[in-house]
Amino acid sequence: MMAESGSLLSIGAISICYVQEGRASKNPFTLTISAERGVIGGRSLPVDIATHLRHGAGVHQGTEHDRAAILAAYRATRRRRGMILLGMVVLGIAAFLLDISTGPSPLRLWDVLLGLFQPDQLSAPEQTIIRQVRLPYALMALLVGAALSLAGAEMQTILNNPLASPFTLGVSSAASFGAALAIVSGISLPFVPADWMVPLNAFVAAFASVLLLEALARSRAAGMEGVVLFGIALVFTFNALVALLQFVASQEALSQLVFWTMGSLGRSTWGGLATLAVVLAVVLPFSWRAADAMTALRLGEDRARSFGIDVRRLRLFSLLRISALAATAVAFVGTIGFIGLVGPHIARMLLGEDHRFLLPASLLTGAVIMALASVLSKVLVPGVLLPVGIVTSMIGVPVFLLLILKKPNRA
């Protein structure tokens, strides 16, 4: 039996619920609603039972029929979630194509497709624009969005904080500082290629910052607000340190540093893309394997541990993944804000907190938002290419404020 969103599901004679995104709504139903919406299962309710349920009382002895109906409704929810994920993939592809087609010389969608799959049919300049200029740019938007949003989703779960994201809690700033330090000092390590020093340093700084955050989140002294305030302190500290490095940097290093702080897709290279793709490919299976443990952690730390989850280990490995994702993204495009905050929240609103759905949905939402932000960065001021970090902040800041002003229900 299928129960669509917005339908009234009658389960046997006693249990009944109004199905809304896989969870029954808290709104008490009435017979009026049932008459308007119709009743799945073809049975209407006696008035006394409806009244009884409306008052939230009653003994509910589940029958086989009840159970089958509830499980069917749950399966329908799962199918719907699958469809939403599929819709996000389609949306991501559409945003990606739109991203390639927009720019100083607009291209038709058909030409974009030709450019991707049969480049011989286009003129040489069009081929160059699509394959050399816009393709790496658009792919980088998708990958950076996916990486930051997945990192944000994991961070919000393991720190149990809806305001956590690599950007808001200073991980991106730390990565920027690590990268800046490598650029300005020109440090190198034996056996590490010079090209890798910047991302590596970004990673080390990012990991150090998440370790600090985790230690604070675990200490009983700091509540949820404490972690957020500490994260904000990290943002200011690392920004000040980056400014200090800018002050002492050579002219050449300075121009590179400015790029980090702006957050721009402008320097996307195939090498950077490959690195980020590899990091995502390595991280994803581990994230996926941790999904059930993360869902259990949402029930509370003691509960999760009592259900057999080694929470310390879960946190540690998740922090490693977050550092790798955030640091690699920052290393190639600079600090891009709020994707890691907004992506997971949209995903959570659409699909709930079963992490088997939340994690892939966060990844996809981040990719879509980032691709659309990239499009906006090209069309907002005609003829001018805004750094994409400015656009994501313009989208992200109102959402951030909404989250702060909204009474948190995940305390």
Interacting residues toward other proteins by CB under 8 A: 14-17, 19, 22-26, 53, 58-62, 66-67, 70-71, 73-74, 77, 160, 292-293, 295-296, 298-300, 302-310, 348, 352-354, 409-411
CA 11 to CA 252: how far, in whole Å?
A: 70
CB of 76 to other proteins, least distance (A): 10
CA 69 to CA 397: how far, in whole Å?
A: 43
CA 147 to CA 328: how far, in whole Å?
A: 9
DSSP 136-193: HHHHHHHHHHHHHHHHHHHHHHHTT-TT--TTTTTHHHHHHHHHHHHHHH----TTS-
For 323, counting Cβ atoms within 10 Å of its Cβ (0-12 exposed, 13-18 middle, 19+ buried), the class is: buried
Tokens of 158: 């393991």
Q: How many CB atoms are closer than 10 A to CB 295?
A: 20
CB of 213 to other proteins, least distance (A): 19
Q: Is the Cβ of residue 19 or residue 325 nearer to other proteins in the bound state?
A: 19
CB of 410 to other proteins, least distance (A): 6
Q: Which residue has the tokens 């006394």?
A: 48
Half-sphere exposure of 287 (CA within 13 A, CB side): 31
Q: Is the Cβ of residue 156 or residue 392 nearer to other proteins in the bound state?
A: 156
CB of 169 to other proteins, least distance (A): 20
Pairing between β-strand 23-24 and β-strand 16-20 as defined by DSSP bridges: antiparallel
Q: Which residue has the tokens 């607000």?
A: 225
Q: Is the Cβ of residue 281 or residue 411 nearer to other proteins in the bound state?
A: 411
Q: Is the Cβ of residue 235 or residue 347 nearer to other proteins in the bound state?
A: 347
Q: Is the Cβ of residue 61 or residue 118 nearer to other proteins in the bound state?
A: 61
Burial 101-114 (b: 16+ CB within 10 A, else e): bbbeeebeeebbeb
What are phi and psi for residue 34, nearest 5 degrees?
-65, -35
Q: Is the Cβ of residue 55 or residue 108 nearer to other proteins in the bound state?
A: 55
CB of 156 to other proteins, least distance (A): 11
Half-sphere exposure of 314 (CA within 13 A, CB side): 23
CB of 68 to other proteins, least distance (A): 10
CB of 27 to other proteins, least distance (A): 10
CB of 230 to other proteins, least distance (A): 21
CA 165 to CA 168: how far, in whole Å?
A: 5
Q: Is the Cβ of residue 194 or residue 303 nearer to other proteins in the bound state?
A: 303
Q: Is the Cβ of residue 279 or residue 293 nearer to other proteins in the bound state?
A: 293
Q: How many CB atoms are closer than 10 A to CB 88?
A: 21
